[in-house]
Amino acid sequence: MTITLYLEPELESQLLARAVARGVPLDVYLRAVIQQAARQQDAAQPTLSGEEFDAGLDALAAGSENLPILPPEAYRRDSIYEHE
């Protein structure tokens, strides 16, 4: 696949400098950057099924039914932070 990119001159200079520093042509450097970004994105994507996600939420919430019910004043800023 061929892609044409229009880059601002400053960005083009920065990318070209990085490619030169690695001793590769700009197109080879950009291909490597794109491949790395794609791999990182793939690794960051969750791989849980809907059932696994629901089970994880259930495990996270387990025992929360035993937490005390706090009065509304417990959520006021002055009751959260210590005063001197």
Nearest-angstrom CA–CA distance, 17 and 26: 9
Nearest-angstrom CA–CA distance, 38 and 3: 16
Is the residue at 31 inside a domain?
yes
Q: How far is CA 16 from the centre of its chain?
A: 27
pTM above 0.85, yes or no: no
Domain range holding 32?
Answer: 7-45
pLDDT, average across residues 61-84: 84
Domain count within the chain:
1
Nearest-angstrom CA–CA distance, 32 and 25: 11
Is the residue at 29 inside a domain?
yes
Is the residue at 62 inside a domain?
no
Give CA separation, 37 vs 30, 31, 40, 44, 46, in Å: 11, 10, 5, 11, 16
Q: Encode pLDDT of 14-54 as tens digits.
A: 999 999 999 999 999 999 999 999 888 776 667 788 899 89
Is the residue at 27 inside a domain?
yes
